[in-house]
């Protein structure tokens, strides 16, 4: 099993991901702090809220605060900020004073629903909040070495270990919204307390067994809220929360997409920590179903906007794509774990697709506004008229905040932790997983990487310092790359490709230089014909970047454009465009309207037109308007 690079060992130094990380540190964390403050989330942990007061605490508010603290913790690792650290310490002090004697800590259940804790696990996000708080406490401890927050959450975790389990007198339940499984594994790895691993394993394996715990819970008269019966016919079962059957029996990824991928990340953790081969096979099975039948070209997942969930295989609508930012982030968590456990680059291919497209689209260029869902097609007029009654979710403009504000602090914590995804280690071996300008220091070895990836094809790696025990470097070759070259000290080398990596073993010396070139031609992509929404359509991709057309750059009618597989595109880089990016220029065709609504079948009249395509992740940062990823295909 590989080890993910510690956040303190990696420094992003330039380029696309560096700019996103810098914006997050300098702008996003501050604007989100103000939102958390203004909405009452930060200081509601004083537990002094009373009926009829403003800012009534919600079931999942604690998770928003936790994700922000976690994001701050990762940021402090490379960019110390005494003012922010002081604010975090103040919040942690409040938590300490508000924690109950038995270790319990939850804003909603200590103010709004007193005496009702652990009575509606299915709907009330209680363990979900606990999980995020635990993860935040671990991140804060690893960065600052302050253990107050960690001790608070260990007390809470100890309480959960006593409350839940198979023993007599314990609750035989599990979370309605998965997440705590990931946190418990992290806590186990930090403390080596096996009870945390045991509880994570219990939550993973108990879920969906009969009699279903949520049926028992629903019948319990102590329940204080009306249970959500999921009235949509296809979701009457507990499939919506992945509790319809035990995980080992599940054949496809179903239900709420964020919950499903948090769950799979936890399943992967438990599978490999316990060496459970049946669980490992389950991870493979569900991963294949996901990426082969239920994932957007952008790495977005979850196609049902109304219920934030997966629907059926190959159902991937563009204009009503749910593709929640949190879901793409959860996909990154799952695929990164699978890569670390199996040393297989296929998982990084999906991770990279999700990161550069489905996640980064979730935040504006200036770092102050966010998408909850990320559509692949926008018709501004349809949004303005709210023709489907879904205007709040299918917009063409990002929002400053949400009532359900899970996405903003979630993307903040991912961006703050980006450095830890760039490298991995196996004893003395180093894996370069993602390419970005950065410095990596591992014991006595220091790598300097310089590149303008994902817009440029060339990656330069310099051995700035070398430890005698280091001799093997693994370089990832993405699956989208058909042609690549590798040079060591300006000499071409040929190395076999295994599981998406080339392995270079030698006696490394200081100032050794590696040059990797990943050919990035413009590629036209087609979807499986079973994806009915994209039959006879093509999308543009270059390297890991999926491109889109915006109305601000192109025709007023993007939907009348036709592209053939042979149309040529030129590649341009503009430092002043959208923070610096590559755009594509191509000559294709545009349908000419006859001005009749219907007419006899005849060849479509086409005329030449020039289009400009930009990275999908950067759309909606200029003038509001239409946008498309998939373009009509012309066969003539």
Give me the phi and psi of 200, to 5 degrees please.
Answer: -60, -45
User: Is 308 one of the catalytic residues?
Assistant: yes
Structure tokens at 241: 């929360």
How many CB atoms are closer than 10 A to CB 306? Answer: 13
172 CB-contact burial (10 Å; exposed 0-12 / middle 13-18 / buried 19+): middle
Q: In Å, how far are 32, 225, 324 from 308, measured between CA atoms?
A: 24, 21, 8
Q: Is the dihedral of CA 245, 249, 254, 260 positive or negative?
A: positive
**149 Rama class: left (phi>0) / alpha (psi -120 to 50) / beta:** alpha
Half-sphere exposure of 41 (CA within 13 A, CB side): 28
Among residues 550, 554, 557, which one has the least CA distance to residue 625? 550
Which of the following is catalytic: 126, 308, 352, 457? 308
User: Is 406 one of the catalytic residues?
Assistant: yes
Contact call for residues 224 and 113 (beta carbons, < 8 A): yes
Which of the following is catalytic: 44, 406, 407, 481? 406
Helices (H) and strands (E) in the chain, counts: 17, 23
**593-612 burial code (b ≥16 CB/10 A, e <16):** eeeeeeeeeeeeebeebebb
Secondary structure of residue 445 in the 3-state scheme: strand
Dihedral angle over CA of 265, 307, 619, 610, nearest 10: 110
To 10 degrees, what angle do helices 257-273 and 325-342 make? 20
Q: How far apart are CA 82 and CA 444, in angstroms?
A: 29
487 CB-contact burial (10 Å; exposed 0-12 / middle 13-18 / buried 19+): middle
∠ Cα 326 182 235 (to 5°): 55
Element of type H or E holding 463: strand 458-465
Q: Cis before residue 211, ω within 30 degrees of 0?
A: yes
Q: Cis before residue 117, ω within 30 degrees of 0?
A: no
Q: How far apart are CA 406 and CA 394, in angstroms?
A: 17
Sorted by sequence, the CB contacts under 8 Å of residue 241 that are 6+ apart come out as 122, 176, 177, 214, 255, 256, 259
Q: How far apart are CA 371 and CA 35, in angstroms?
A: 16
Q: How far apart are CA 93 and CA 101, in angstroms?
A: 15
Q: How far apart are CA 188 and CA 198, in angstroms?
A: 9
Q: In Å, how far are 67, 368, 370 from 31, measured between CA atoms?
A: 14, 7, 12
Among residues 322, 293, 318, which one has the least CA distance to residue 631? 318
Contact call for residues 436 and 424 (beta carbons, < 8 A): no
Specify the pairing of strand 537-542 against strand 631-633: antiparallel
Sorted by sequence, the CB contacts under 8 Å of residue 219 that are 6+ apart come out as none
Q: How far apart are CA 541 and CA 529, in angstroms?
A: 19
Active site residues: 308, 406
């Amino acid at each position: 099993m590989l080890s993910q690079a510690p956040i303190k060992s990696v420094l992003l130094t330039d380029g696309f991901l560096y700019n996103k990380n810098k914006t997050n540190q300098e702008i996003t964390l501050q604007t989100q702090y103000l939102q958390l403050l203004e909405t009452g989330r930060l200081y509601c942990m004083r537990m002094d809220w009373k009926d009829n007061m403003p800012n009534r605490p919600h079931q999942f508010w604690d998770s928003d605060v936790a994700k922000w603290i976690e994001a701050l913790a990762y940021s402090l690792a490379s960019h110390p900020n005494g003012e922010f650290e002081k604010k975090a310490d103040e919040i942690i002090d409040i938590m300490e004073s508000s924690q109950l004697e038995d270790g319990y800590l939850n804003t909603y259940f200590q103010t709004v629903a007193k005496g009702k804790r652990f009575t509606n696990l299915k709907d009330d996000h209680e363990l979900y909040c606990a999980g995020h708080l635990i993860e935040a406490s671990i991140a804060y401890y690893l960065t600052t070495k302050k253990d107050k927050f960690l001790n608070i959450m260990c007390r809470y975790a100890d309480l959960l270990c006593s409350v839940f389990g198979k023993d007599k007198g314990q609750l035989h339940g599990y979370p309605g919204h998965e997440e705590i499984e990931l946190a418990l594994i992290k806590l186990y790895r930090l403390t080596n307390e096996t009870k945390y691993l045991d509880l994570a394993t219990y939550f993973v394996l108990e879920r969906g067994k009969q009699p279903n715990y949520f049926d028992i819970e629903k019948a319990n008269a102590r329940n204080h809220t009306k249970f959500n019966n999921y009235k949509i016919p296809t979701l009457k079962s507990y499939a919506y929360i992945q509790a319809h059957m035990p995980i080992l029996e599940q054949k496809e990824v179903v239900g709420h997409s964020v919950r499903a991928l948090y769950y799979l990340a936890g399943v992967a953790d438990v599978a490999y920590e316990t060496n459970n081969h049946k669980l490992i096979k389950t991870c493979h099975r569900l991963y294949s179903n996901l990426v082969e039948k239920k994932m957007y070209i952008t790495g977005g997942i979850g196609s049902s906007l109304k219920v934030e969930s997966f629907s059926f295989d190959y159902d991937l609508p563009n204009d009503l794509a749910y593709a929640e930012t949190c879901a793409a982030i959860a996909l990154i968590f799952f695929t990164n774990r699978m890569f670390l456990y199996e040393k297989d680059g296929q998982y990084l291919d999906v991770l990279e697709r999700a990161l550069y497209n489905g996640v980064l689209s979730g935040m504006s260029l200036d770092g102050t506004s966010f998408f909850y869902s990320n559509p692949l097609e926008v018709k501004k007029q349809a949004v303005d008229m709210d023709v489907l009654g879904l205007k709040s979710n299918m917009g063409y403009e990002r929002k400053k905040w949400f009532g359900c504000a899970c996405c903003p602090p979630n993307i903040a914590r991912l961006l703050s932790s980006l450095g830890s995804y760039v490298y991995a280690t196996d004893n003395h071996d180093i894996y370069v997983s993602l390419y970005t300008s950065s410095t990596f220091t591992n014991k006595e070895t220091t790598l300097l990487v310089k590149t303008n990836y994902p817009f440029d094809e060339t990656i330069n790696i310099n051995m700035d310092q070398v430890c005698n025990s280091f001799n093997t470097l693994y370089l990832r070759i993405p699956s989208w790359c058909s042609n690549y070259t590798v040079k060591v000290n300006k000499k071409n080398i040929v190395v076999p490709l295994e599981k998406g990596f080339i392995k270079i073993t030698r006696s490394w010396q200081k100032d050794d230089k590696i040059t990797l070139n990943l050919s990035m031609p413009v590629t036209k992509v087609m979807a499986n014909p079973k994806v009915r929404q994209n039959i006879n359509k093509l999308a543009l991709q270059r390297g890991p970047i999926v491109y889109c057309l915006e109305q601000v750059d192109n025709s007023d009618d993007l939907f009348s454009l036709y592209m053939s597989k042979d149309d040529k595109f030129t590649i341009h880089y503009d430092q002043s465009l959208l923070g610096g990016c590559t755009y594509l220029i191509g000559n294709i065709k545009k349908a000419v309207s006859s001005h009749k609504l219907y007419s006899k079948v005849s060849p479509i009249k086409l005329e030449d037109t020039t289009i400009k395509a930009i990275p999908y992740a950067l759309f909606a940062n200029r003038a509001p308007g239409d946008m498309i990823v998939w373009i009509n295909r012309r066969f003539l």
